[in-house]
């Protein structure tokens, strides 16, 4: 008997576990599950942008506007509620007539009949408001993309600049070591050794500042992300290798694409559509809505009251049930003024002007972004093909001459500064090109890709 009870308990536990399994897949449990850990080796720009889109709190707050607008569609479809009335239709107050009258009760229901298709026009206006909310969120998202790009680009630039400055600090430290050996051999003076140490120590202070700048830029990546970078990506390093953006050399093609895909154009068009739907609804609202009232009245019988002679001393009446139907039509004196309609039509005119302005702004924005992109790309090309090569060749030549005693310390330091300035300017040119690329992509309505 104990074995049977033990088996029964095991079966009950098994069925309880099976019953819990579907609950583990429910949305409520899924929402509380921790996010999946980042499994990549490097943080690509795409990974960062996807995480920004998923976790940014401001973007999530903007998306709630879409939820609210979608709820407005359901609200717009609500029909007027019928009105149910119960009451006393007649009650005799004059005492001498009370024996001749009974108390009549009534019950009625009233329906408002919407005319001019008001319900359908409300739904159309609500749906166009949903579209406007959606494109507005897309516009906010594109602004967030640009902020994320600037943060990611600055983090890459500052890290690469720090690596260059740390390499230069090592070179200056090597110069100090060489000068210390040459000072013992009598090849250089103590003044030159001291000067090389001063230059190294001063540059070390610059490296400390650059290291702080790189750490700050890395921390700033958390702002668009909406959470700490390490909480999303762990200790993974940034991948700062960006692919070349290929585009047409004809800005007119980009302008045509932007006129159909740029967020400013989409917002302006959605605003105009919503304004037109509201104006259509406002015109429909000027039509009166009749109210149909259907009621029934019950009048109880008046029973006879007999006098001493056995005759009825009152007016006897039988029970009565009557059905009534009334139609109430408002007299629209308030519609003699056209203020609401004038406001709606003015909003449509404003939206049309806004769309025309957005058209011109789009043409100028795309042309300007394209010109900036071409200029930044040309700057990067010049640095890669000539400036960096020449500055490195000069630096290596001065270093060799300095080791042989054919160049002074000042010439070496000047060549080092010149090469460092050229490389740091190249990094800034690369960052400028990256931002210009994203600005061009956003100008034509594309999601940034690097």
**Domain locations in the chain as residue ranges:** 80-113+291-328
Cα 34 to Cα 20, 31, 96, 418, 434: the distances in Å are 19, 8, 84, 51, 34
> Checking phi first, is residue 265 left (phi over 0); if not, alpha (psi -120 to 50) or beta?
alpha
Location of structure tokens 């690596």: 163
Q: pLDDT digit string (tens) for 133-147?
A: 999 999 999 999 999
Per-residue CA distances from 340 to 128, 282, 285, 350 (Å): 20, 7, 10, 15
From the number of C-beta atoms within 10 Å of its C-beta (0-12, 13-18, 19+), residue 254 rates as buried
Residues 6 or more apart whose CB falls under 8 angstroms from that of 252 comprise none
Return the pLDDT at 135. 97
pLDDT in tens, the chain (450 residues): 333 344 444 434 433 333 333 333 433 333 334 445 566 689 999 999 999 999 999 999 999 999 999 999 999 999 999 999 999 988 888 888 878 888 899 999 999 999 999 999 999 999 999 999 999 999 999 999 999 999 999 999 999 999 999 999 999 999 899 888 888 888 778 888 898 899 999 999 999 999 999 999 999 999 999 999 999 999 999 999 998 888 876 889 999 999 999 999 999 999 999 999 999 999 999 999 999 999 999 999 888 877 767 777 667 788 889 999 999 999 988 888 889 999 999 999 999 999 999 999 999 999 999 999 999 999 999 999 999 999 999 999 999 998 888 888 899 999 999 999 999 999 999 999 999 999 999 999 999 998
Q: How far apart are CA 275 and CA 277, in angstroms?
A: 5
Angstrom CA distances, 171 to 96, 182, 268, 413, stand at 123, 16, 57, 11
Its sign, for the CA torsion 314, 315, 318, 323, is: negative
Q: What is the pLDDT of residue 40?
A: 64
- Report yes or no: 132 and 270 within 8 Å, Cβ to Cβ: yes
d(CA 429, CA 433): 6
Tokens of 108: 């009625």
Q: Which residue from 228, 208, 188, 296 is spatially nearest to 38, judged by alpha carbons?
A: 228
Determine if the pTM surpasses 0.75: yes
Residue 172 has, within 13 A of its CA and on its CB side, a CA count of 27
Is there a contact between 353 and 298 (Cβ–Cβ < 8 Å)?
A: no
- Taking the C-alpha atoms of residue 293 and residue 87, their distance in angstroms, rounded to an integer, is 14
3-state secondary structure of 236: coil
Q: What pLDDT does residue 184 have?
A: 86
pLDDT at 37: 53
Q: What is the DSSP string of 176-226?
A: HHHHHHHHHHTSS-HHHHHHHHHHHHHHHHHHHHHHHHHHHHHHHTHHHHT
Q: Is 52 exposed, middle or buried (0-12, 13-18, 19+ CB in 10 A)?
A: buried
Q: What is the CA radius of gyration of the chain?
A: 41
DSSP 8-state assignment for residue 25: T
Distance CA(325)–CA(361), nearest Å, equals: 61
- How much is the pLDDT for 35? 47
pLDDT at 39: 63
3-state secondary structure at position 320: strand
Which residues does 293 contact at the CB level (< 8 Å), separation at least 6? 108, 109, 110, 111, 324, 325, 326, 327, 328
Residue 38: predicted pLDDT: 64
Distance (Å) of CA 346 to CA 245, 266, 275: 43, 20, 9
Cβ atoms of 236 and 42 within 8 Å: the answer is yes
Nearest to 111 by CA among 81, 85, 75, 87: 81
Longest dimension (CA), the chain: 159
| Residues 352, 129, 78: CA angle, nearest 5 degrees | 130
């Amino acid at each position: 008997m104990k074995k049977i009870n033990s088996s029964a308990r095991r079966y009950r536990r098994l069925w309880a576990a099976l019953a819990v399994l579907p609950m583990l897949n429910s949305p409520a449990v899924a929402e509380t599950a921790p996010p999946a850990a980042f499994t990549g080796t490097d943080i690509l720009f795409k990974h960062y942008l996807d995480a920004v889109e998923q976790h940014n709190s401001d973007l999530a707050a903007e998306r709630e506007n879409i939820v609210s607008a979608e709820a407005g569609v359901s609200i717009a479809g609500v029909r007027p509620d019928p009105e149910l009335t119960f009451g006393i239709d007649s009650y005799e107050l004059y005492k001498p007539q009370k024996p001749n009258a009974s108390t009549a009760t009534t019950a009625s229901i009233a329906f408002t009949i919407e005319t001019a298709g008001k319900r359908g026009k409300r739904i159309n206006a609500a749906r166009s408001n949903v579209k406007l909310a959606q494109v507005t969120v897309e516009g906010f998202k594109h602004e967030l993309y640009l902020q994320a790009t600037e943060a990611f680009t600055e983090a890459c630039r500052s890290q690469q600049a720090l690596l260059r400055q740390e390499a230069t600090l090592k070179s200056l430290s090597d110069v100090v070591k060489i000068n210390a050996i040459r000072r013992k051999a009598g090849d250089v003076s103590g003044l030159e050794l001291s000067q090389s140490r001063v230059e190294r120590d001063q540059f070390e202070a610059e490296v400390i500042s650059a290291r702080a700048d790189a750490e700050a830029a890395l921390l700033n990546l958390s702002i668009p992300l909406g959470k700490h970078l390490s909480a999303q990506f762990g200790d993974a390093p940034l991948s700062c290798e960006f692919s070349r953006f290929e585009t047409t050399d004809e800005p007119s093609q980009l302008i045509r694409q932007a006129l159909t895909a740029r967020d400013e154009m989409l917002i302006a068009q959605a605003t105009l559509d919503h304004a037109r739907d509201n104006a259509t609804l406002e015109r429909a609202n000027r039509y009166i809505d009749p109210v149909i009232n259907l009621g029934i009245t019950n009048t109880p019988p008046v029973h006879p009251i007999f006098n001493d002679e056995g005759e009825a001393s009152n007016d006897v009446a039988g029970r009565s049930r009557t059905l009534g139907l009334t139609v109430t039509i408002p007299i629209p004196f308030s519609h003699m003024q056209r203020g609401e309609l004038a406001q709606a039509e003015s909003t449509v005119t404003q939206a049309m002007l806004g769309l025309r302005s957005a058209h011109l702004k789009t043409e100028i924005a795309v042309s300007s972004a394209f010109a900036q992109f071409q200029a930044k790309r040309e700057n990067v090309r010049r640095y890669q093909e000539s400036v960096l090569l020449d500055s490195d060749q000069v630096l290596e030549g001065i270093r060799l001459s300095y080791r042989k005693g054919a160049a002074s310390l000042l010439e070496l330091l000047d060549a080092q500064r010149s090469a460092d300035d050229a490389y740091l300017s190249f990094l800034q040119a690369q960052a400028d090109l990256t931002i210009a690329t994203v600005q061009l992509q956003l100008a034509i309505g594309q999601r940034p890709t690097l």
